[in-house]
């Protein structure tokens, strides 16, 4: 069952009812100012950092209720309604929400009044602009009142959510004309304030929540709105808000348009005040002047759309499969950009006060956006590497505002160092810019111990190479990609964090998965050594990699008989082997070892993937492990803490489904690669939205596995490495347009019935127009013709002097 439909021409998902199974959200903003906006106008707003500079308040544990946002109320006689249905939930005569690329549009109709809004964050400003147009479609004159409402957060969202003994006494505001200024803590150490304004004279306002809502009322029934009269309250402590009232008369057929701006302003310390305790409003007024007419809003909106046109023209596919076209050309890339901006920090499932930018997460996200914004990817790599420790290990996360690493969610995860190689290699393969390797980059943000980025990578590789366990496999440390495989933790007290409790190191527990990564990224590191002319080092690295390859295939180490072992615990026992009663087979090493090329020659790769199909496959995707753990294993940690079928305990963890699909392309099985791709692909799962429940236009982190009560139900939408890995899978492996250090390679692996297709790819300043004749073949390039000339192999020789290149690929 669907709750809306795709409008590919406008790059929108059109939600036809506000009663979606969960809040279906969108992200506004692309640089520093961000808003989350749900299909019923819920959401929250922040500047740069969702924890430290939060503008509007989120009510935690809010899924599915979704009860705080940026709301407009319309009072028409005795009826009060919202264009996005919430919070009053007054039944609408018509409703529509269009989530687009960096904007959302709403239409609500009630009793002959139509309210249409458009919300977006302009490309170069720290504000959210919402244009609200009200139209009288009835045959009588309408006298209505429009009310706006946002609830301020007192900046530090974490403190705001718990330090009430202080915070109930700090709130301060100013009001001038139609602008409400939120200036809590501005009198002391903050040099920033927030504004909420409308480009028309207002009848009244409220800035104190109690006055607006009334005692014992909620946003669903604000007393002042129902009374038809805001009270001009001035907040003093408690909870400052911003609400405007506009009284509007509309003749039949008449429309009126209003522009609301919610903004963030910073003043220089020496220029904070206009007069004693009165804030300097000049920069706010300048910002508001930029959006005070419809024409200016149209221009800013056009600029946003042009920016996206440019970005989304870098990789486009034209195939006979609409769903693939839609995901590749629009939604998958859009989600990659959102993960660039948010990492795992702010969504409806990530509160914005918990996690910052993940080391591993950000390196992987980069794989999905590096082609879109290479300069910012470069900066991101340097930021991430700057938090690395001198021995090659890493903090697991850093705070976006300070860019400093912290151990709040642990450190010492055995896989982290290798992801830095993954991200850097992807950047250089995309851009050809090897100068990044010569950048001086600090360790733990200390410039006095800076080394080149190449040295950072050397230490990344070196750390894993020199930290091995009894089977010569890499030590797992705190955990590896699977944050919940905590083999050194041994926690038995409730409430202890599996990621921060106990030692982060142990001399025994090993990860086969990291072994697979070591092969994949060791090879990529060796290629970078070659690129730098370090041939001896390259040879040494390749030797280590070859040894690891053998260890992984050895039935006394990495190989279990029909699949790859997952790990060895701190007692040296197998995790993910046939001898285990539960957790016999895990997805991660099967996908990653094979995508790294391990076992392709010996046939073990195919055997491992056949085992995945046999033991882990479901109609909704491939599960992370089987059989699920039914009891808690202190020696395994969090993985066994979840009820069977959820999260890392036998859920369908979407992130590693593309690893399996890529692995299938490595052994040439296009039919199966695509089958795996389809199972978690939003454009396909849209049809089962009542089961899947999360947004049908983007990936979620986890779908409940076969053991779970709600098998097929998605959770944790938006901020997941699934976006990047799926884009890598479909664009680079299935459609097969893969950036190498020397140029673009074209080597598709598609289902037999996929048909011919073409890809447009802008790469290092050259536009490649690639058309593929498939000939019913799953993999194999018979002919590669570049501008009419036949070329050997699959790599198009890079020639910067050509601005457009025509490429014909004949499979066979």
Q: By CB under 6 A, name the binding residues for ligand BGC.
A: 344, 358, 360-361, 481-484, 648
Nearer to ligand BGC by Cβ, of 360 and 371: the residue is 360
* CA 81/CA 394 separation, integer angstroms: 51
Q: How far is the CB of 485 from ligand BGC (least distance, A)?
A: 8
Which residue in the list 76, 483, 527, 707 is annotated as catalytic? 483
Nearer to ligand BGC by Cβ, of 263 and 417: the residue is 417
Q: How far is the CB of 483 from ligand BGC (least distance, A)?
A: 4
Q: How far is the CB of 809 from ligand BGC (least distance, A)?
A: 35
Q: How far is the CB of 586 from ligand BGC (least distance, A)?
A: 12
Q: How far is the CB of 66 from ligand BGC (least distance, A)?
A: 22
CB 786 within 8 A of CB 743: no
* CA 686/CA 569 separation, integer angstroms: 40
Nearer to ligand BGC by Cβ, of 110 and 344: the residue is 344
Q: Catalytic annotation on 365?
A: no
Bridge-based pairing of strands 804-811 and 766-773 is parallel
Separation of CA 75 from chain center: 38
CB 17 within 8 A of CB 93: no
Separation of CA 528 from chain center: 28
Bridge-based pairing of strands 315-318 and 278-279 is unpaired
Q: How far is the CB of 361 from ligand BGC (least distance, A)?
A: 5
Write the DSSP assignment of 172-226 as a string of letters.
Answer: BEEEETTEEEE-TTTTTT--EEEEEEESS--SEEEEEHHHHH-TT--TTS-HHHH
For tokens 């593309």, the residue is 658
Where b means 16+ CB within 10 Å and e means fewer, 619-638 reads ebbbbbbbbbbeeeeebbbb
* CA 804/CA 769 separation, integer angstroms: 7
Listed in order, strand segments (DSSP E) in 706-811 are 714-717, 737-740, 743-746, 757-763, 766-773, 781-786, 789-791, 804-811
Residue length of the chain: 812
Q: How far is the CB of 653 from ligand BGC (least distance, A)?
A: 6
CB 11 within 8 A of CB 101: yes
Q: How far is the CB of 484 from ligand BGC (least distance, A)?
A: 5
Nearer to ligand BGC by Cβ, of 390 and 406: the residue is 406
Alpha helices in 686-735 (DSSP H): 689-692, 722-727
Cβ-proximal residue to ligand BGC, closest one: 483
CB 686 within 8 A of CB 15: no
For tokens 């530090």, the residue is 156
CB 203 within 8 A of CB 225: no
* CA 739/CA 728 separation, integer angstroms: 11
Retrieve residue 207's tokens: 């800035």
Q: How far is the CB of 655 from ligand BGC (least distance, A)?
A: 6
Nearer to ligand BGC by Cβ, of 524 and 638: the residue is 638
CB 733 within 8 A of CB 665: yes
Exposed (0-12), middle (13-18) or buried (19+): which is 668, by Cβ within 10 Å? middle
Q: How far is the CB of 716 from ligand BGC (least distance, A)?
A: 8
Question: Which residues are CB-contacts of 772 (< 8 A; sequence separation ≥ 6)?
Answer: 736, 746, 748, 756, 757, 758, 759, 809, 811
Element spanning 560, H or E? none
Nearer to ligand BGC by Cβ, of 125 and 483: the residue is 483
Nearer to ligand BGC by Cβ, of 481 and 525: the residue is 481
Nearer to ligand BGC by Cβ, of 144 and 489: the residue is 489
Exposed (0-12), middle (13-18) or buried (19+): which is 389, by Cβ within 10 Å? middle
* CA 89/CA 81 separation, integer angstroms: 7
Q: How far is the CB of 480 from ligand BGC (least distance, A)?
A: 8
Question: Which residues are CB-contacts of 625 (< 8 A; sequence separation ≥ 6)?
Answer: 566, 576, 583, 584, 585, 586, 587, 616, 639, 648, 649, 650
Nearer to ligand BGC by Cβ, of 180 and 342: the residue is 342
User: What spatial distance separates the first Cα and last Cα of the chain, rounded to whole Å?
Assistant: 39
Q: How far is the CB of 344 from ligand BGC (least distance, A)?
A: 5
* CA 733/CA 793 separation, integer angstroms: 16
Q: Where in the sequence numbering do the catalytic residues fall?
A: 483
């Amino acid at each position: 069952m669907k709750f809306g439909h795709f409008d590919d021409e406008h790059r929108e998902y059109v939600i036809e009812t506000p009663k979606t199974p969960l809040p279906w959200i969108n992200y506004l903003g692309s640089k520093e100012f961000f808003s989350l906006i749900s299909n019923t106008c819920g959401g929250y707003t922040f500047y740069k950092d969702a924890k430290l500079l939060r503008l509007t308040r989120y009510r935690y544990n809010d899924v599915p209720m979704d009860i705080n946002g940026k709301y407009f109320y319309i009072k028409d006689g005795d009826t009060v309604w919202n264009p996005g249905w919430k919070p009053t939930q007054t039944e609408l005569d018509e409703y529509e929400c269009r989530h687009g690329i960096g904007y959302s549009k709403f239409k609500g109709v009630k009793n002959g009044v139509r309210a249409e809004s458009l919300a977006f964050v302009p490309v170069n400003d720290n504000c959210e602009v919402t244009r609200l147009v009200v139209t009288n479609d009835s045959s009588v004159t309408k006298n209505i009142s429009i009310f706006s409402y946002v609830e301020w957060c007192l900046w530090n969202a974490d403190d705001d959510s718990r330090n009430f003994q202080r915070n109930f006494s700090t709130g301060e505001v100013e009001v001038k004309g139609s602008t409400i200024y939120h200036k809590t803590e501005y009198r002391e150490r903050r040099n920033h304030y927030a504004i909420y304004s409308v480009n028309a004279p207002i009848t009244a306002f409220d800035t104190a929540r109690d006055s607006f809502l009334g005692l014992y009322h909620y946003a669903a029934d604000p007393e002042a709105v129902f009374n038809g009269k805001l009270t001009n309250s001035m907040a003093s402590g408690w909870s400052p808000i911003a609400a405007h009232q506009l009284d509007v008369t509309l003749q039949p057929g008449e429309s009126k348009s209003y522009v609301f701006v919610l903004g963030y302003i910073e003043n220089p310390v020496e220029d904070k005040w206009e007069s004693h305790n009165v804030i300097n409003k000049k920069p706010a007024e300048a910002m508001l002047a930029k959006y005070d007419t419809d024409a200016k809003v149209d221009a800013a909106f056009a600029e946003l759309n042009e920016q996206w046109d440019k970005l989304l023209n870098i990789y486009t596919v034209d195939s006979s499969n609409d769903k693939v076209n839609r995901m590749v050309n629009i939604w998958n890339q859009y989600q990659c950009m959102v993960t660039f901006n948010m990492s795992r920090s702010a969504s409806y499932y990530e509160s914005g006060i918990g996690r910052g930018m993940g080391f591993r997460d950000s390196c992987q996200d980069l794989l999905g956006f590096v082609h879109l914004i290479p300069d910012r990817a470069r900066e991101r790599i340097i930021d991430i590497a700057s938090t690395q420790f001198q021995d090659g290990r890493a903090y697991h996360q850093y705070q976006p505002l300070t860019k400093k690493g912290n151990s709040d969610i642990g450190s010492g995860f055995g896989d982290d160092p290798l992801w830095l190689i993954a991200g850097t290699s992807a950047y250089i393969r995309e851009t050809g810019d090897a100068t990044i390797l010569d950048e001086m980059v600090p360790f733990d943000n200390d410039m006095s111990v800076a080394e080149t980025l190449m040295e950072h990578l050397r230490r990344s590789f070196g750390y894993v190479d020199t930290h091995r366990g009894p089977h010569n496999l890499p030590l797992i440390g705190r955990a590896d990609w699977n944050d919940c495989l905590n083999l050194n933790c041994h926690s038995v007290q409730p409430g202890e964090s599996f990621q921060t409790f106990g030692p982060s190191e142990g001399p025994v527990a090993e990860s086969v998965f990291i072994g697979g990564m070591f092969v994949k990224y060791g090879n990529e590191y060796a290629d970078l050594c070659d690129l730098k002319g370090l041939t001896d080092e390259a040879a040494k690295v390749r030797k280590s990699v070859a040894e690891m390859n053998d260890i992984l295939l050895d039935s006394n180490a990495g190989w279990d008989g029909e699949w790859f072992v997952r790990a060895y615990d701190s007692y040296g026992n197998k995790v993910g082997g046939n001898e285990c009663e539960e957790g016999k087979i895990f997805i991660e090493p099967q996908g990653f070892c094979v995508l790294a090329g391990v076992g392709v020659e010996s046939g073990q790769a195919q055997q491992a993937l056949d085992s995945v199909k046999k033991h882990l496959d479901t109609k909704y995707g491939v599960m992370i492990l089987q059989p699920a753990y039914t009891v808690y294993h202190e020696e395994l940690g969090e993985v066994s803490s979840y009820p069977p079928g959820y999260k890392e305990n036998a859920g369908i963890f979407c992130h590693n489904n593309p690893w399996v699909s890529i692995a299938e392309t490595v052994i040439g099985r296009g039919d199966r690669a695509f089958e795996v791709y389809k199972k978690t692909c939003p454009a396909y799962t849209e049809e089962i939205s009542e089961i899947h429940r999360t947004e049908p236009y983007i990936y979620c982190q986890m779908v409940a596995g076969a053991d779970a009560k709600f098998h097929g139900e998605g959770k944790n939408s938006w901020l997941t490495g699934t976006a990047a890995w799926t884009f890598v899978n479909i664009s680079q492996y299935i459609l097969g347009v893969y950036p190498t250090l020397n140029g673009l390679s074209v080597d598709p692996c598609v289902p037999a019935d996929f048909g011919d297709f073409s890809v447009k790819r802008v790469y290092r300043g050259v536009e490649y127009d690639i058309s593929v004749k498939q000939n019913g073949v799953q993999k194999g390039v018979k002919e590669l013709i570049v501008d009419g000339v036949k070329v050997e192999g699959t790599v198009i020789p890079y020639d910067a002097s050509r601005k457009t290149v025509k490429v014909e690929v004949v499979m066979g």
